[in-house]
Chains A and B, each alone.
Chain A
Amino acid sequence: MTMKRTILTGLPGAALLVAGGLALAAGQYGPGASDTEIKLGNTMPYSGPASSYGIIGKAEAGYFAMINEQGGINGRKINFISRDDGYSPPKTVEVVRQLVEQEQVLALFNTLGTPPNSAIQGYLNDNKVPQLFVATGANKWNDPKNHPWTIGWQPSYQIEARIYARYILKNLPNAKIALLYQNDDFGKDYLIGLREGLGDKADKMIVATKTYETTDATIDSQIVALQGSGADVMVTAAIPKFAAQAIRKIYDIGWKPNHFLSNVAVSVKQVMQPAGPEKGVGIISAGYVKEPTDPQWQNTPEYKEWLAWMQKYNTAGSITDANNVYGYSVAQTMVQVLKAAGNDLTRENLMKQAASVHDLKLPMLLPGIVVSTSADDFAPIKQMQLQKWDGTTWQLFGEVISGAGS
């Protein structure tokens, strides 16, 4: 940048400025950064109950490998050290301490899971180590005042629920809403988001709520009870197995509510097909990345670029798995932030850059959705677009909606 300006302006004494700039740059390194290398640490559940998410870590490693092959970032190679924590918080603490104290990483990037990230948040903030773009949908990562070294990435469950609430307020103002949610923080975030989005109408509009446990065999009785409440809008905040059951049961008992389905359960393979594709026609959900199985993207240059990367750098990954889109996109965000940090690779500057991303467009995010942060906004992606199931695929409709604010 400095060089370009010099040439363009041709001001006398500019060479001095450049020299000064370079001299300054050489001195600006935090732990884990040097003239040749940038060390990033990461934890992933490569083993244990959540190991299906491990592919995200592999995708990220694949993306950084490509960047390195192309010459790295300002000549520096990314050394991405990704360790297994088995989704076990004590293990995460141990692994992260090792990454920070032994490996001396510059920052932690996209550590996965709400409990693992909760376990290391205090440690990383105490030691002023950036905890960048964590891989969890909980709402608590957007808290720059108390945790200035932790920043989220994906839209939180609360943001998603607020988007449904806004759609309902606008298009179904007299709705009577029934909510089925998983009895944990994931499910409760939807209840909170829905109530926030509906504002003072929440008590009037939400007529019934039911919960299920992940150990339940079926949720049939909950569905029947929710139908009995007289609701005409159904919100299902469930993981794939129970979402499929809900879709089928609602159809089978002849209930025809406007049905909203949590984004975690939109998988065609895991939910819509087992439920019966015709039974879910009309269901509305929200998304933010381009589904790799969606035919409407498959002829776009962005998809082709992603596919070429998959086939060269992430050969073990499946091209139907949206987690590979997720890993690709979040790694792109990281690369952008590193580029923005330039030659000032200190932890302070990295955190500052992570908190000053301005309307960054990523190729595999839905058109119109941007990554955006500021000093008091640590929720990078706040927009989603609604999509409707037409029996074979999810059709995007309407505008990109922001779930920011309350």
Chain B
Amino acid sequence: MTKGISIVSPDKVAADRYAGLSTDAWRWLGTAVLIGLVVLLPFRLSNYHVFELTMVMIYAIAVLGLNILTGYNGQISLGHGGFFAVGAYTAAILMHHYAVPYWATLPVAALICFVLGVLFGLPALRFEGPYLALVTLAMAVATPQVLKYFDNWTGGQQGLNLVKPQPPPALGLDRDRWLYFIALIVLLVAIRVAVNMLHGRTGRAFVAIRDHPIAAAAMGIDTARYKTLAFGTSTLFTGVAGALSAIIIGFVAPESFTLFLSISFLVGSAIGGIATISGAIVGGIFIQFVPNLANDISDAAPSAIYGVAMLLFMYAMPHGVVGTLGPLLARSVPRIQARWPALIGK
């Protein structure tokens, strides 16, 4: 045992240092640069582009939720648009009927969507693979009609118009940039929570259940508990994203939450890399920009272009952008280092 480790570790230590910095240091540096960029970016862009990036982050949070459930735990959901709607309407109803400040609706939406997800996860224990997909599909299909039914609360088909949040005057930010930073903070918190959960015991349990439920149970993992936990956490993320979207768009209506939204989440998740965390951001970018690009390319058949883009992505990168490029990058760094030591150094 000890012998094995002692052989491996010197190599590993050597390989883990680039240009005199450890991988950890590199990671911190990278993260710091990245955060610096996303903080400065909105001041360089027009209001409209800031709004677009805000939507990217919201979709990324929703996709991250789906990644936890589908990517890490292997439960396919076609109903996350429904949970997104629950989050959005929680925020909208609280703001519209009870004049709750917008920021206070986020934890409420999180709680409601978590409980709902756990409740939904209980019967879902009995369904696997395509059967669960069908059950959740029912949720997505039913959502717009259920929303219309409770029209005293939801405003029916007319939807609810919300008062747009005012940024605190002391900050000197305009509304679009203020909302951008709110979304950014929520996204960073969501990523942090996901990293902590998925890179620990819970994450390993999720993956074990996905890869081999029987073996996982035999190892003593409480599969029922972890599956419902995965469901609840996943819907919590997506619900918070929904609440944020209601706040930022300033309007909710049943037409906002059709089946297509649920499918978009799944597409974003698969394109980004279904069992990854950073893939969610790629997924958010895809959901936000590719339909627009498709529209710019062809007015007549945007859906066809969208479909082709999807096919190309899946064909070139079957594990999603991050799922494919990530390992590729990890493999190529030592190779580049071996060939051009001067470039990265030792």
A→B interface (CB under 8 Å): 46-49, 83-84, 86-90, 93-94, 97-98, 101-102, 113-116, 118-119, 121-123, 138, 140, 184-186, 213, 215
Contact = CB atoms under 8 A, between A and B. Distances in A.
Contact of B250 (A46, A49, A94, A122): A122
Given A47-B303, A115-B253, A97 B48 contact: yes
Interface string B255-288: 1101011000000000000000000000000000
Given A88-B255, A90-B256, A122-B164, A101 B303 contact: no
A62 B48 CA distance: 29
A106 B261 CA distance: 31
Contacts of A86: 260
Given A86-B260, A184-B148, A119 B156 contact: no
A121 B251 CA distance: 10
B61 interface: no
A101 B48 CA distance: 6
A119 B159 contact: yes
A260 to B, nearest CB: 23
Contacts of B251: 89-90, 93, 118-119, 122
B55 interface: yes
B156 A122 contact: no
Given A46-B299, A115-B254, A118-B158, 17 more contacts: A46-B302, A49-B255, A83-B295, A88-B261, A89-B251, A90-B249, A93-B250, A97-B48, A102-B46, A113-B255, A114-B158, A115-B157, A118-B161, A184-B148, A184-B151, A184-B156, A185-B157
28 contacts: A46-B302, A47-B302, A47-B303, A48-B260, A49-B258, A83-B295, A86-B260, A88-B255, A89-B159, A90-B55, A90-B245, A90-B249, A93-B249, A93-B250, A93-B251, A94-B55, A101-B47, A115-B254, A116-B255, A118-B159, A119-B250, A121-B161, A122-B164, A122-B250, A122-B251, A186-B157, A213-B145, A215-B145
B52 interface: yes
B255 A89 contact: yes
* Interface range on chain B (Cβ under 8 Å from partner): 20 to 34
A101 B46 contact: yes
B89 to A, nearest CB: 13
A141 B255 CA distance: 19
A341 B261 CA distance: 42
A114 B51 contact: no
Contacts of A97: 47-48, 51
A114 B251 CA distance: 12
Contacts of A88: 255-256, 258, 260-261
Contacts of B46: 101-102
The DSSP consensus for interface residues of chain A is helix
Contact of B256 (A89, A101, A122, A213): A89
Given A94-B55, A102-B48, A123-B250, A185 B156 contact: yes
A115 to B, nearest CB: 4
A140 B161 CA distance: 13
A115 B255 contact: yes
A138 B258 contact: no
B260 A98 contact: no
B253 A89 contact: yes
Nearest to B296: A83
A119 B253 contact: yes
A253 B192 CA distance: 66
Contacts of B253: 89, 115, 118-119
> 7 closest Cβ contacts across the A-B interface?
A101-B48, A115-B253, A119-B251, A115-B255, A184-B157, A89-B253, A90-B249
Contacts of A47: 302-303
Interface in B136-177: 145, 148, 151, 156-159, 161, 164
B107 to A, nearest CB: 23
Given A118-B159, A122-B164, A48 B258 contact: yes
Given A87-B255, A88-B258, A89-B256, A115 B158 contact: yes
Contacts of B157: 114-115, 184-186
B221 to A, nearest CB: 39
A138 B159 CA distance: 13
A318 to B, nearest CB: 17
A192 to B, nearest CB: 13
Contacts of A114: 157-158
Contacts of B51: 94, 97
Contacts of A115: 157-159, 253-256
Contacts of B52: 94
Contacts of B302: 46-47, 84
A98 B156 contact: no
Contacts of B303: 47
Contacts of A113: 255
Contacts of B48: 97-98, 101-102
B167 to A, nearest CB: 15
A97 B255 CA distance: 19
Given A98-B48, A102-B48, A184-B148, A89 B156 contact: no
Nearest to A115: B253
A370 B55 CA distance: 43
Nearest to A214: B145
A140 B158 CA distance: 10
A89 B158 contact: no
A6 B34 CA distance: 67
Contacts of A89: 159, 249, 251-253, 255-256
Nearest to A121: B161
A94 B52 CA distance: 8
Contacts of A118: 158-159, 161, 251, 253
Interface string B192-228: 0000000000000000000000000000000000000
Interface string B43-56: 00011100110010
Contacts of A122: 161, 164, 250-251
B255 A185 contact: no
Nearest to B162: A122
B249 to A, nearest CB: 5
B153 to A, nearest CB: 15
